[in-house]
Amino acid sequence: MAADPIEQFKIEKLVDFGTVNLPVFGKSDLAFTNSHLAMTIAFVMVVGFLTLATSKMQVVPGRWQIVGETLFGMIDNLAESIIGHDGKKYFPFVFTVFMFILAMNVLGLMLTFTVTSQLAITATFGLITIGLVLIIGFVKHGLGFFKLFVPSGVPIVLLPVIVLIEFVSFLLRPVTLALRLFGNMLGGHVALKVFAGFVVALGAMSAAGGVSLLGLPGAALSLSMVVALTALECLVAFLQAFVFAVLTCIYLNDVVNLGHVH
The answer to whether the CB of 193 falls within 8 A of the CB of 5 is yes
Domain segments of the chain as ranges: 32-256
- Residue 259: is its pLDDT beyond 70? no
Sign of the alpha-carbon torsion through 38, 40, 46, 52: negative
The answer to whether the CB of 14 falls within 8 A of the CB of 31 is yes
> For position 2, what pLDDT does the model report?
47
List, for residues 215-224, the tens digit of each pLDDT value.
677 777 888 8
> For position 215, what pLDDT does the model report?
67
List, for residues 166-217, the tens digit of each pLDDT value.
999 999 999 999 999 999 998 888 888 888 887 777 777 766 665 555 667 7
- Residue 227: is its pLDDT beyond 50? yes
Closest residue by Cα to residue 237 from 144, 79, 111, 116: 116
- Residue 153: is its pLDDT beyond 70? yes
